[in-house]
Amino acid sequence: MCGKEGIWFDGGGFYGAKDIDCICEACLSEGKLKELEIETNEAFEGTDEQKEEIVFRTPALPTWQDRCWPFRDGDYCVFEKIASKVDFTNKEEFISSFAKEDQENSDLSDIWENYLAEKPITSIEDGNYDISIYLFTRNGKKHCTWDAS
């Protein structure tokens, strides 16, 4: 929108009535998307300010599914990367990084054994697996979500 050089995010997957091709990091963090009523992610918890940070000023998660951002201990987590096995000490740590609902409703042990990438994922093409694990952190603790493509 401003034509500045720098990091640009593809706007193709954003939510909203209007379409934009892309937005630069500066415009994104200044909240320009709010004026256009374009949302990058979905957020339903916390204060309006916390939600706006995720919905209008945070790059979209690299997923084709609903981008629901994990909210833990009073605030939103920081997205780190698409996870691989090397990001966890062991299966127990992997499983305990998920929300209770995921631990109860998903076969995380199966995901760990059969779907979690063995090596670090370096690009989005690389990360195009059947199941993707999104690694977030908050206060030094790991929090994961997953989806299937």
Residues within the interface to Zn ion (CB under 5 A): 2, 4, 24, 27
List Cβ<8 Å contacts ≥24 apart for 98-105.
98/143, 98/144, 98/145, 98/146, 99/70, 99/72, 99/143, 99/145, 102/144, 102/145, 102/146
**Shortest distance, position 48 Cβ to Zn ion, whole Å:** 24
Q: CB-wise, 5 or 125, nearer to Zn ion?
A: 5
137 within 8 A of 143, measured Cβ to Cβ: yes
Q: How far is the CB of 63 from Zn ion (least distance, A)?
A: 24
Please say which residue, 33 or 54, places its beta carbon nearer to Zn ion: 33
Provide, rounded to whole angstroms, the least separation between the CB of residue 27 and Zn ion. 3
Task: Indicate the residue among 32 and 143 with the shorter CB distance to Zn ion.
Answer: 32
